[in-house]
């Protein structure tokens, strides 16, 4: 058997579904619709689509294209550009690792809620309206008074977390082949469930009012720089770029495979999923407003609040199909999350380790799953929600934006945007023009750094993030520095199989 043989997607469709699965996730449901409502209604699509074209798509083309060129995950790609750049592939590896440790805990909550929705455990009718918040914070999380009080482990969360990791292991240890096939199903099921939720939402009373809040355009919002920050950071988060994983997914594409069209399809599918999810969320919100006679401000519409308080309230007061819709909603979140979680665990964390140390897939998968499960236990404690929030800020905001901007700069200027473009154009359906070079070299990194500085540093340095005590908010800076230092240490260790660049495809014998 040829030793240097890279694993491959079984078809172009499985690659695209795997990429779509990694991009669509909880953020499409609980971030995008809310941001749209908050920042100008339908007008939010303007900065979002502009950002997608200027930053998001070039970034994804870059990750797929570079992964395919060097046939390696993120660290191998940067090592291939020059040994001194390898750290820049390890830094986002830590973003992937940190994110997957808590993302899987949220998936575990979804599993708990899938079970408790079957009986609407927080109560039906008015009881449920009053009970939903307490059920989440007290019963499920047992939330403590602050990040300094960890309390004990919440065993149902630990159990579901273990189950989640067993499922991830069973998918990832067989590599791209199985990941591709599972993604086709996972994405299809998530979309089907989302469609059920949209139909249910649109057939509830109050739908017009709810959708008005979602989409009613407010053109003056475009003048507010915040709407642009919000759009750019949501694009980066939603496309799942900047997490090391897309390099690995690109490295499983054959030498004849398309890159740019796949990136465009993935981006369009992700954006459409977000837009579509907004119909489910805001039609349901319109119903809550009408049923409880409350203003929209009192409906929990974003983040965990939406999933684990707002939607449960809706389930409690729906006129029919309550438990059914509850189960569908949480299973939908589960599938959305799962396809992103194994992307992070395999493409973001395991593949770089396999490339670097020559580990086999099974060994890498066992180590990654066990270590990530154990690291995730901190979020299964009573203070876990606070830690989750702090680590989320570190990884999915700062690490994502900073390493993304640096990657665009190094690939654009050192490797060469033109070289990448010409390489990608050789085999891609969509041919990129010279404009691509400038987007990658200047516009994308400038946009990302702008968001990190004005939307992040400027605030978090002035006042500790989210009102946490200084020591807790400082964990952000400590994690950024520690992961950077360890990235350099990993760079110093000799690589087992250095990336060659344009490695020949060999036949399996
Ligand atoms: N893109 C995912 C979402 O929108 C979030 C995510 C980011 C998942 C990074 C994995 C990696 O929910």
Choice from 20, 24, 26 to test ligand 1 binding pocket (greatest atom count within 8 A of CB) = 26
CB of 238 within 6 A of ligand 1: the answer is yes
Closest CA to 502 of 336, 255, 222, 331: 255
Cα(394)–Cα(100) distance, integer angstroms? 13
Cα(113)–Cα(159) distance, integer angstroms? 13
Choice from 21, 25, 34, 92 to test ligand 1 binding pocket (greatest atom count within 8 A of CB) = 25
Secondary structure (3-state) at 381: strand
Cα(462)–Cα(184) distance, integer angstroms? 45
Alpha carbon separation from 410 to 247, 313, 347 (Å, rounded)? 15, 48, 21
Residue whose Cα lies nearest atom 6 of ligand 1: it is 240
Cα(307)–Cα(5) distance, integer angstroms? 43
Residue 417 CA, ligand 1 centroid: distance in Å: 26
CB of 315 within 6 A of ligand 1: the answer is no
Choice from 238, 273, 345, 388 to test ligand 1 binding pocket (greatest atom count within 8 A of CB) = 238
Residue in the block written with tokens 């934006």: 401
CB of 240 within 6 A of ligand 1: the answer is yes
Closest CA to 104 of 180, 23, 162, 24: 162
The encoded tokens of residue 134 equal 């307490």
Residue whose Cα lies nearest atom 11 of ligand 1: it is 240
Cα(250)–Cα(94) distance, integer angstroms? 19
CB of 26 within 6 A of ligand 1: the answer is yes
pLDDT at residue 4 in the model: 58
CB of 237 within 6 A of ligand 1: the answer is yes
| Count of Cβ atoms closer than 10 Å to residue 349 Cβ | 30
In tens, the pLDDT along 241-271 reads 999 999 999 999 998 899 999 999 999 999 9
pLDDT at residue 500 in the model: 64
CB of 25 within 6 A of ligand 1: the answer is yes
In tens, the pLDDT along 73-127 reads 999 999 999 999 999 999 999 999 999 999 999 999 999 999 999 999 999 999 9
pTM here is 0.95
Residue whose Cα lies nearest atom 7 of ligand 1: it is 240
Closest CA to 206 of 299, 273, 109: 299
pLDDT tens per residue across all 509 residues of the chain: 334 589 999 999 999 999 999 999 999 999 999 999 999 999 999 999 999 999 999 999 999 999 999 999 999 999 999 999 999 999 999 999 999 999 999 999 999 999 999 999 999 999 999 999 999 999 999 999 999 999 999 999 999 999 999 999 999 999 999 999 999 999 999 999 999 999 999 999 999 999 999 999 999 999 998 899 889 989 999 999 999 999 999 999 998 899 999 999 999 999 999 999 999 999 999 999 999 999 999 999 999 999 999 999 999 999 989 999 999 999 999 999 999 999 999 999 999 999 999 999 999 999 999 999 999 999 999 999 999 999 999 999 999 999 999 999 999 999 999 999 999 999 999 999 999 999 999 999 999 999 999 889 988 998 999 899 999 999 999 999 999 999 999 999 998 877 765 554 444 33
Given the CA of residue 25, which atom of ligand 1 is nearest to it? 12
Choice from 19, 95, 106, 237 to test ligand 1 binding pocket (greatest atom count within 8 A of CB) = 237
**Residue-wise over 257-273: b if at least 16 C-beta within 10 A, else e?**
bbbbebbbbbbebbbeb
Can you name the residues that pair with 381 across neighbouring β-strands? 153
Residues 6+ apart with CB under 8 A from 77: 66, 67, 69, 70, 89, 247, 499
Residue 366 CA, ligand 1 centroid: distance in Å: 23
CB of 29 within 6 A of ligand 1: the answer is no
Given the CA of residue 32, which atom of ligand 1 is nearest to it? 4
Residue 239 CA, ligand 1 centroid: distance in Å: 7
pLDDT at residue 225 in the model: 87
Residues 6+ apart with CB under 8 A from 152: 142, 381, 382
The encoded tokens of residue 373 equal 């499960």
Residue 340 CA, ligand 1 centroid: distance in Å: 6
CB of 99 within 6 A of ligand 1: the answer is yes
Can you name the residues that pair with 153 across neighbouring β-strands? 381
Residue 2 CA, ligand 1 centroid: distance in Å: 35
pLDDT at residue 503 in the model: 53
Alpha carbon separation from 259 to 254, 328, 444 (Å, rounded)? 10, 34, 19
The four Cα atoms 414, 420, 422, 428 give a dihedral, to 10 degrees, of 180
Cα(208)–Cα(247) distance, integer angstroms? 43
Secondary structure (3-state) at 326: helix
Residue 494 CA, ligand 1 centroid: distance in Å: 31
Residue whose Cα lies nearest atom 2 of ligand 1: it is 25
Phi, psi of 153 (to 5 degrees): -80, 145
Residue 212 CA, ligand 1 centroid: distance in Å: 27
End-to-end Cα spacing for the chain: 5
Cα(326)–Cα(332) distance, integer angstroms? 10
DSSP code of residue 299: S
The encoded tokens of residue 393 equal 């800020």
Residue in the block written with tokens 């507010």: 224
């Amino acid at each position: 058997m040829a030793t240097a043989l890279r694993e491959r997607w079984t078809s172009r469709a499985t690659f695209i579904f795997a990429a779509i699965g990694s991009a669509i996730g909880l953020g499409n449901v609980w971030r995008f619709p809310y941001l749209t409502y908050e920042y100008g209604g339908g007008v939010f699509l303007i900065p979002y689509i502009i950002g997608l074209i200027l930053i998001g798509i070039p970034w994804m083309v870059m990750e797929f294209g570079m992964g395919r060129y060097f046939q390696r995950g993120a660290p191998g790609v940067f090592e291939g550009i020059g040994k001194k750049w390898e750290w820049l592939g390890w830094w986002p590896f830590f973003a992937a690792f940190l994110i997957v440790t808590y993302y899987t805990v949220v998936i575990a909550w979804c599993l708990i809620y899938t079970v408790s929705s079957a009986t609407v455990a927080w109560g039906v009718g008015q009881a449920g309206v009053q009970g939903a918040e307490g059920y989440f914070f007290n019963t499920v999380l047992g939330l403590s008074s602050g990040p300094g009080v960890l309390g004990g482990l919440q065993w149902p969360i630990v159990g579901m977390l273990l189950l989640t990791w067993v499922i991830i292991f069973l998918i990832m240890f067989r590599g791209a082949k199985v990941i591709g096939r599972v993604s086709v199903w996972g994405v299809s099921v998530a979309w089907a469930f989302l469609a059920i939720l949209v139909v249910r939402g649109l057939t509830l009373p109050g739908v017009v009012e709810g959708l008005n809040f979602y989409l009613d355009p407010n053109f003056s919002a475009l003048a507010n720089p915040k709407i642009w920050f919000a759009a750019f950071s949501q694009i980066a988060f939603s496309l799942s770029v900047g997490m090391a994983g897309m390099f690995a997914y690109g490295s499983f594409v054959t030498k004849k495979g398309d890159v740019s069209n796949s990136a465009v399809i993935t981006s369009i599918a992700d954006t459409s999923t977000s837009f579509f999810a907004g119909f489910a969320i805001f039609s349901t919100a319109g119903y809550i407003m009408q049923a409880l006679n409350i203003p929209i401000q009192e409906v929990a519409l974003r983040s965990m609040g939406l999933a684990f308080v707002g939607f449960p309230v809706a389930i409690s007061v729906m006129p029919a199909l309550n438990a059914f819709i509850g189960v569908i909603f949480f299973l939908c979140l589960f599938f959305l999350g799962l396809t992103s979680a194994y992307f992070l665990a395999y493409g973001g964390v395991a593949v770089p380790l396999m490339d670097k140390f020559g580990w086999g897939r099974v060994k890498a998968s066992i180590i990654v799953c066990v270590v990530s499960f154990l690291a995730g236990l901190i979020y299964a404690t009573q203070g876990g929600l606070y830690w989750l929030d702090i680590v989320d800020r570190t990884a999915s905001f700062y690490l994502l934006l900073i390493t993304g901007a640096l990657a665009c700069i190094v690939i654009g200027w050192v490797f060469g945007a033109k070289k990448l473009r010409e390489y990608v154009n050789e085999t891609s359906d969509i041919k990129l023009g010279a404009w691509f070079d400038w987007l990658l070299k200047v516009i994308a990194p400038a946009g990302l750094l702008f968001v990190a500085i004005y939307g992040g540093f400027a605030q978090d340095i002035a006042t500790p993030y989210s009102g946490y005590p200084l020591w807790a908010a400082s964990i952000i800076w400590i994690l950024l520095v520690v992961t950077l230092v360890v990235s350099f240490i990993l760079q110093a260790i000799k690589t087992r199989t250095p990336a060659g660049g344009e490695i020949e495809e060999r036949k399996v014998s």
